[in-house]
Amino acid sequence: MPTSIIQLNVKQLLATSKVKYSEEELVAALKRNERTAFEFLYDHYSGALFNIISKTLRDEEKAADVLQESFLKIWKNIASYNPEKGRLFTWIMNIARNGAIDAARMEGRKPVMDDIENKAVLNEPDVDEDSLASSSEMKAIVNMLRPERKILIDMAYFQGYTHEEISEELRIPLGTVKSRIRTALQELKQYFAA
């Protein structure tokens, strides 16, 4: 490869690595399909997403495939992201988590979600740590919920159950499951705001 091309690639890489975005700027750039924004997103969030996917699948090769599929979904669906409904990281984390759960289910097994912790995400240096609670804080806050809400959050977000599966497992109406989860999430949001 000619030296000038190598120098150009190094300059592009350095320019990309120096780019900084606020969340609003990043979302706007992603929605404009700016390459540097997608590179920034991948560079800063792929490690955290890979940790989440790996903890669910327990297979690094499959986790790498799901990570790639997740970023394709993010790229294709970024226009549907609504910042009023939650942070960008939460949105992309849910895409990755759901992809991992789907991959596990395609193999005919339950996803391994019992030990998924935000600690895996917090170990990634480029993730906005202010937006996440530590694992122990998260568990402590979830434990403050009423027992009927706590079990639903645990099943839905830590064990990978769908709302329908929770309804069947606990033998309570689907509407009740959804409303209790919604109430629990609103309660958790208040705890995190405080």
Instruction: Count how many domains the chain has.
Output: 2
The CATH number linked to 166 is 1.10.10.10
127 located within any domain: no
Question: What is the reported pLDDT for 193?
Answer: 65
9 located within any domain: no
117 located within any domain: no
Let me know whether 102 and 159 are in one domain: no
Question: What is the reported pLDDT for 118?
Answer: 37
Let me know whether 41 and 103 are in one domain: yes
pTM higher than 0.75 for the full model? no
Question: What is the reported pLDDT for 108?
Answer: 74
The CATH number linked to 76 is 1.10.1740.10
Q: What is the pLDDT along the chain (194 residues), one digit of tens a residue?
A: 444 444 444 444 444 456 788 889 999 999 999 999 999 999 888 888 888 888 788 888 999 999 999 999 999 999 999 888 888 888 898 899 889 888 888 877 665 544 343 333 333 333 444 434 344 566 677 778 888 888 888 777 766 677 888 888 889 999 999 999 889 888 887 776 65
Question: What is the reported pLDDT for 172?
Answer: 92
Question: What is the reported pLDDT for 81?
Answer: 92
**CA trace torsion 100, 102, 105, 106 (10° rounding):** -110
Long-range contacts of residues 170-177, Cβ cutoff 8 Å, at least 24 apart = 177/152
Let me know whether 98 and 151 are in one domain: no
Question: What is the reported pLDDT for 126?
Answer: 39
Let me know whether 24 and 103 are in one domain: yes
Let me know whether 155 and 92 are in one domain: no
163 located within any domain: yes
Question: What is the reported pLDDT for 152?
Answer: 87
**127: which residues sit within 8 A by CB, 6+ positions away?**
44, 45, 47, 48, 89, 121
* Residue 68 to residues 72, 120, 140, 167, 193, Cα–Cα distance (Å): 6, 19, 33, 32, 33
Domain of 146, in residue numbers: 135-193
Question: What is the reported pLDDT for 192?
Answer: 65
